[in-house]
Amino acid sequence: MELDKSELDEIVKAAEDEVIEYLSELVRIPTFVPPGEHYEEIVDLLIPYLRESGFRCERIVVPEEVVERMKEDVAGLNGKRVNLIATREREGGNKPLLDIYTHLDVVPAGEAWHTHPYTMVRKGDRLYGRGVADSKGSVAALLMALRIMKEQGIACRYNLRVALTTDEEIGMYSGLCYFADNGLLRGKYMLCMDGDNEGICVATNGVMNWEIVVNGKACHSSTPFLGINAIEKAKLVMDALEQLKERVERRESKVPCSPTMTRVTGQKHIKPIFNLTMISGGVKENIIPPSCVLRGDRRYIPEENERDVVHEFETALEPLRSELELEVHCYPGYPPMHTDPEEEWVKEVQTAASAAFGVHKPITGVQGGLDVAYAVQKTGQPVCAFGVGSSMESNAHSANENIRIEDLTNYVKFLVMLLRDM
């Protein structure tokens, strides 16, 4: 069926209460991780909705031995890691397959909420609850978009595979990584609904955590010449790291950052980042400290690569090794992500998003890392991320997470406009 924008506006307006109700049901299931105990429940809730829209649903449970390995790095994980794949392939046509992805887990509620985090509340033009922005709002919008398309007889131009997964928020081996390693992502393109609505995100930074142990020698503090003060020596390391930081952060990517980021920082492109974020050492006031541990992270732009990043880090510390005993460890995380902005797929997403939201949505990159980057490094799929919430207003990962109702309904329109066969 042909449908113009004002007709779609009206249909979605009429469905507003229902999409809010969908979201409220999703928020009610506390899928926070750790522990991540309620995945099966939320998958069971979603399956009937997706079946009604013609999808074949499979529960994909991450094997026990994979979860055991995750538990070595993350404390407090518990329960089955139940993921969902819903596939709809229409016979007779050779339509391209599109993977639509987001995660079902949320970060723990934390303190300082004005409302109950798992009972969604509507106040004015906003909805409050854990996960409304990151990223259950997009799931609710997808259910509604699929239902509207069915009820209005709007044909879909893609075969669809919806991947709703576990454990994204712990930043390790998520359900999506498992999907990628097991050939479960096969779409020609991917839409990542985990993102903000400010721009079409085609690039993310890669992540590497690091740790430096400065070794000294303990002794009585009244005779410090008998020992080596590891904390005082760590200052030399920090000086070297500061110079490295300066060098690293002078670089920038070709990928623009969001207009909001430009407004706040003046920065026009995404940049690499070097942080010293943790320090520990010392035993007692009157003992010369035998060791001092420094930790931090390095976020690297798509134009950099992991090998060079590690090499640069080690080289910066090399001159100190003649006078200090150092142990240096690098822990690479997600790689960077980069889809060519000239890709047809990116333009389609941008066109649909701009039309649905009624404003031009720019192509952007973000300085954080995403599990999608790991996935598309395996699959080579062009991907872009566009979501419901706002990076500046939604308080994702903190108290009073919220979205504008208008952003939620615009996101429903975005999906219909992106998926419909014209």
Stretch that binds Zn ion, among 56-64, 114-122, 129-137, 336-344 (CB under 5 A): 129-137
Burial zone of 102 (CB within 10 Å; 0-12 exposed, 13-18 middle, 19+ buried): buried
**Number of residues engaging Zn ion in binding (CB under 5 A):** 3
Cα(403)–Cα(397) distance, integer angstroms = 13
Interface positions, 43-72, toward Zn ion (CB under 5 A): none
Interface positions, 130-149, toward Zn ion (CB under 5 A): 134-135
Stretch that binds Zn ion, among 193-201, 220-228, 238-246, 410-418 (CB under 5 A): 193-201
Stretch that binds Zn ion, among 140-148, 187-195, 331-339, 371-379 (CB under 5 A): 187-195
Cα(356)–Cα(352) distance, integer angstroms = 6
Cα(310)–Cα(297) distance, integer angstroms = 11
Cβ atoms within 10 Å of 285's Cβ, excluding its own: 6
Stretch that binds Zn ion, among 9-17, 75-83, 128-136, 287-295 (CB under 5 A): 128-136
Q: Rank residues 131 and 206 by Cβ distance to Zn ion and give the closer one.
A: 131
Helix (H) or strand (E) holding 160: strand 159-165
Minimum distance from residue 205 beta carbon to Zn ion (Å): 16
CA dist list (Å): 267 to 72, 298, 302: 38, 18, 17
Cα(235)–Cα(226) distance, integer angstroms = 20
- Strand, coil or helix: what is 358? coil
In 221-343, alpha helices (H):
230-249, 259-265, 306-317
Q: Rank residues 53 and 394 by Cβ distance to Zn ion and give the closer one.
A: 394
Minimum distance from residue 123 beta carbon to Zn ion (Å): 23
Q: Rank residues 194 and 407 by Cβ distance to Zn ion and give the closer one.
A: 194
Q: Rank residues 135 and 402 by Cβ distance to Zn ion and give the closer one.
A: 135
Cβ atoms within 10 Å of 80's Cβ, excluding its own: 17
Told to check if 196 binds Zn ion by CB under 5 A, we report: no
Minimum distance from residue 33 beta carbon to Zn ion (Å): 11
Contact call for residues 142 and 100 (beta carbons, < 8 A): yes
Q: Which of 194, 196, 371, 407 binds Zn ion (CB under 5 A)?
A: 194
Q: Is the peptide bond before 6 cis (omega within 30 degrees of 0)?
A: no
Minimum distance from residue 137 beta carbon to Zn ion (Å): 11
Q: Rank residues 134 and 167 by Cβ distance to Zn ion and give the closer one.
A: 134
Stretch that binds Zn ion, among 140-148, 157-165, 192-200, 354-362 (CB under 5 A): 192-200
Stretch that binds Zn ion, among 14-22, 53-61, 189-197, 269-277 (CB under 5 A): 189-197
Minimum distance from residue 133 beta carbon to Zn ion (Å): 8
CA dist list (Å): 109 to 251, 395, 414: 36, 11, 29
Minimum distance from residue 6 beta carbon to Zn ion (Å): 33
x-or-dash string of contact with Zn ion, 77-116, rule CB under 5 A: ----------------------------------------
Q: Rank residues 194 and 304 by Cβ distance to Zn ion and give the closer one.
A: 194
Residue 87's region, left for phi above 0, alpha for psi from -120 to 50, else beta, is beta
* Residues of the shown chain interacting with Zn ion in the complex, contacts defined by CB under 5 A: 134-135, 194
